[in-house]
Chain A
Amino acid sequence: MLAYIIRRVAQSILVLLVVGLVAFSMFRFVGDPIDNMLGQERTQADIDRLRTELGLDQPFPVQYFKFLGGAAQGNFGVSYRQGRPVSTIIAERAPATLELAAVSGFLAISIGIALGVFTAIRRDGWVSNVIMTVSLLGVSLPTFLIGILLIYLFSVELDLLPSFGRGEVVDLGWWTTGLLTSSGLKALILPSITLGLYQMTLIMRLVRSEMLEVLRQDYIRFARARGLKERTVNFRHALKNTLVPVITVTGLQLGAIIAFAIITETVFQWPGVGLLFINAIQFVDIPVMAAYLMLISVMFVGINLIVDLLYFWVDPRLRADRGGAH
């Protein structure tokens, strides 16, 4: 088990190195940051001086290793646009994104699993059919459109919820949270629905199809034949077996929620790292972009690792070290 974790962590580090390399080499095609940083009145001497100062005159491998060396110590350099350390900027912005992603993920998983189980058990009911039909909308509508529709309905027409921003936040020193104020909670509703709706419908449809498959299994028939209560059969026996394959997809979806927060954050002008990244691209702010991409890949890799460990927890067949007789 420990050996497995160590192996997985080593693999993860390799993945991060590759992601860093790919991201870093792509920045060369985004544009020249110097163009944005110096005004129209620049001279060739200014350009050369700044280029040397930023280390952009050095060959690509040297730049890459310098970046890695810094990143390993948590130092991602200084933002070209804001002139402040990137790690500080991201630390300021991360709580907004993580809170949004956590609330969306929670909504997606809890409602998705609940509706999936419901539509599987009541397979032929009209409520299930309505839910399944509506869920097609969630799967097929693009995120930005859902966001704009929600803004139109709840902010413009009904004037119930704010259309942009995070509302009032409470500063805890190391973390700013919108969960403690009513305006912060209100501001969270629309973006989290927008961000989580696709994942919710996806999880729901997945849980439903997996559960229908599990309910056909012999051990479910046998559980019924042993006279167990329908609730026990559905939740103790069927749901647990349903969750094994669902965990993988759900894990990847959580990563996707954080990554795709960019679109939702843009629509709702949510002050998170996604919006920061969009702005950084426009300005060719390479340190910010690099740090963001590394952050996202760390999260993806971390979630995948957690997912793999969850398998061990759920499925006893994978715990080889229990040493069963065969």
Chain B
Amino acid sequence: MSDPVLSVRDLVVEIPTRNAVLRPVDHVSYDIEPGEILGVVGESGAGKSMTGNAVIGLLDRPAAIAGGEIRLKGQRIDNLPYEDMRRLRGKEIGMVFQDPLTSLNPLLQIGDQLTETMLAHLEITETEARTRAIAALDEVGIPAAASRIDSYPHEFSGGMRQRVVIALALCAEPSLIIADEPTTALDVSVQAQIIALLKRLCRERRTAVMLVTHDMGVIAEAADRVAVMYAGRLAELGPVRDVVQSPRHPYTEGLMGSTPLASRGQHRLRQIPGSMPRLGSLPDGCAFHPRCPKAQDRCRANPTPSLDADQGRAACWFPVEQLEDAQ
């Protein structure tokens, strides 16, 4: 097995507030191999995006990494000075944001945005950059790329703009892409195209992908492995087929039960009762216990051990043993 592209160990992100220190990311560990797509799912506020921002070094103050390690191809990057980290961004780690309508600078032609990114990272001339920009647009499926390169973002549709964003994220050939809800703002029909595009490009280039989303459908479609996050911690981590078909953590089970699947043929979707606790008022013990149907005294008293990247699938005292019949 080759070295993982990204290796996160016991990552802790903290936000100091007046009353308390919040931990939106709490001892999270995972690896991503070359060419692998790791899906990160969870509810809003579970710490998914915060993990991605921590990896690329773009946490908004006052949030900051408070512990753990992030390694990119073996090199530690969580403690790099700003300027060194800046050189890695775009070059080694690309990022795709949620809303393609707002991710592109409205006043600059997309060709300029592509060439400036390449010129910032690669030793090439402006002419070469332009040629490669056209090739990049062509690769993400922009029709007549050579004539569209001088267009402004507003001259493209949402789906086309997200293709441009992906071209921008990939144009310096990074080894890791962090895609933060890349399809959430798009039409359903376009979502599938974008996911297929992302999948194809990453397979071809052996780019590792961290795919952050709250959409289990996207995960099932695209990811090789899944990390389920709840209240800043990893609840479950494993191959996508195992996690989707036989979830071990009661939270994952609830999440699967509340996802509409045509094959299941149920009339009503199940819900997980209650809502995720706020970071300022996490319960003692396992953070999920107030909503967990299987909670026992041990869950209320003792926090679950955090998941290691390579062993154990669910951070739960009483993991689900086998696939339960979905009613």
A binds B: yes
Contact of B121 with A222 in the complex, beta carbons under 8 Å: no
Contact of A241 with B105 in the complex, beta carbons under 8 Å: yes
Of A227, A230, A314, A315, the most chain B CB neighbours within 10 A belong to A227
Q: How far is the CA of A231 from the CA of B158 in the complex (A)?
A: 29
Partner of B90 from the list A227, A314, A322 (CB cut-off 8 Å) is A227
Q: How far is the CA of A316 from the CA of B112 in the complex (A)?
A: 14
CB distance from B195 to the nearest CB of A (A): 20
Contacts of A236 in B (CB 8 A): 108, 116
Contact of B154 with A324 in the complex, beta carbons under 8 Å: yes
Contacts of B90 in A (CB 8 A): 225-228
Interface check B86, CB cutoff 8 A: yes
Partner of B91 from the list A218, A227, A229, A315 (CB cut-off 8 Å) is A227
Q: How far is the CA of A293 from the CA of B146 in the complex (A)?
A: 54
Please report which residues of chain A, range 225-246, place their CB below 8 angstroms from some CB of chain B when the two chains form the complex.
225-230, 232, 236-237, 240-241, 244
Encode B136-155 as 1/0 by CB contact (under 8 A) with A.
00000000000000011011
Interface check A223, CB cutoff 8 A: yes
Interface check B104, CB cutoff 8 A: yes
Contacts of A219 in B (CB 8 A): 102-106
Interface check B43, CB cutoff 8 A: no
Contact of B95 with A225 in the complex, beta carbons under 8 Å: yes
Contact of B107 with A314 in the complex, beta carbons under 8 Å: yes
Contacts of B156 in A (CB 8 A): 325
Contacts of B104 in A (CB 8 A): 219, 222
A227-B91, A229-B120, A237-B108 known; A222+B97 contact, CB < 8 A: yes
A222-B95, A232-B120, A324-B155 known; A227+B88 contact, CB < 8 A: yes
Q: How far is the CA of A221 from the CA of B172 in the complex (A)?
A: 17
Interface check A52, CB cutoff 8 A: no
> Chain A interface: which size bin?
20 to 34
Encode B75-103 as 1/0 by CB contact (under 8 A) with A.
00000000000111111001101010011
Contact of A316 with B152 in the complex, beta carbons under 8 Å: yes
Interface check A7, CB cutoff 8 A: no
**A-B pair number, CB within 8 angstroms:** 89
Encode A227-269 as 1/0 by CB contact (under 8 A) with B.
1111010001100110010000000000000000000000000
Contacts of B116 in A (CB 8 A): 228, 232, 236
Partner of B120 from the list A227, A237, A316 (CB cut-off 8 Å) is A227
Contact of B154 with A226 in the complex, beta carbons under 8 Å: no
Of A226, A229, A314, A324, the most chain B CB neighbours within 10 A belong to A226
Interface check B286, CB cutoff 8 A: no
Interface check B229, CB cutoff 8 A: no
Contacts of A122 in B (CB 8 A): none
Contact of A240 with B86 in the complex, beta carbons under 8 Å: no
Q: How far is the CA of A229 from the CA of B169 in the complex (A)?
A: 16
Contact of A237 with B87 in the complex, beta carbons under 8 Å: no
> Chain B interface: which size bin?
20 to 34
CB distance from A122 to the nearest CB of B (A): 14
Contact of A324 with B152 in the complex, beta carbons under 8 Å: yes
Contacts of B121 in A (CB 8 A): 227
- Select from chain B the residue with minimum beta-carbon distance to A223: B105
Interface check B58, CB cutoff 8 A: yes
- Select from chain A the residue with minimum beta-carbon distance to B157: A326
Q: How far is the CA of A218 from the CA of B97 in the complex (A)?
A: 8
Contacts of B207 in A (CB 8 A): none
Encode A200-223 as 1/0 by CB contact (under 8 A) with B.
000000000000000001110111
Contact of B58 with A240 in the complex, beta carbons under 8 Å: no
Contact of B120 with A221 in the complex, beta carbons under 8 Å: no
Q: How far is the CA of A229 from the CA of B119 in the complex (A)?
A: 11
A227-B87, A227-B89 known; A222+B106 contact, CB < 8 A: no
Contacts of B97 in A (CB 8 A): 218, 221-222, 225
CB distance from A223 to the nearest CB of B (A): 7
Contacts of A317 in B (CB 8 A): 106, 152, 154
Interface check B244, CB cutoff 8 A: no
Q: How far is the CA of A229 from the CA of B82 in the complex (A)?
A: 11
Q: How far is the CA of A236 from the CA of B157 in the complex (A)?
A: 24
- Select from chain B the residue with minimum beta-carbon distance to A228: B120
Interface check B168, CB cutoff 8 A: yes
Contacts of A223 in B (CB 8 A): 105
Contacts of A227 in B (CB 8 A): 86-91, 117, 120-121, 172
- Select from chain B the residue with minimum beta-carbon distance to A240: B107
- Select from chain B the residue with minimum beta-carbon distance to A230: B86
Contact of B152 with A241 in the complex, beta carbons under 8 Å: no
Interface residue ranges, A against B (CB under 8 Å): 217-219, 221-230, 232, 236-237, 240-241, 244, 314-317, 322, 324-326
- The 30 listed contacts between A and B (C-beta, < 8 Å) are A217-B102, A218-B99, A218-B103, A219-B102, A222-B95, A222-B104, A224-B58, A225-B56, A225-B89, A225-B169, A226-B90, A226-B94, A226-B117, A226-B169, A227-B86, A227-B87, A227-B90, A227-B120, A227-B121, A227-B172, A228-B117, A230-B86, A232-B120, A236-B116, A241-B107, A315-B107, A316-B109, A322-B155, A324-B154, A324-B155
Interface residue ranges, B against A (CB under 8 Å): 56, 58, 86-91, 94-95, 97, 99, 102-109, 116-117, 120-121, 151-152, 154-157, 165, 168-169, 172
Apart from A226-B117, A229-B86, what are 16 other A-B pairs with CB-CB below 8 Å?
A218-B97, A218-B99, A218-B103, A219-B106, A221-B58, A222-B168, A225-B89, A226-B89, A227-B89, A227-B90, A227-B91, A227-B117, A227-B120, A230-B86, A232-B116, A317-B154
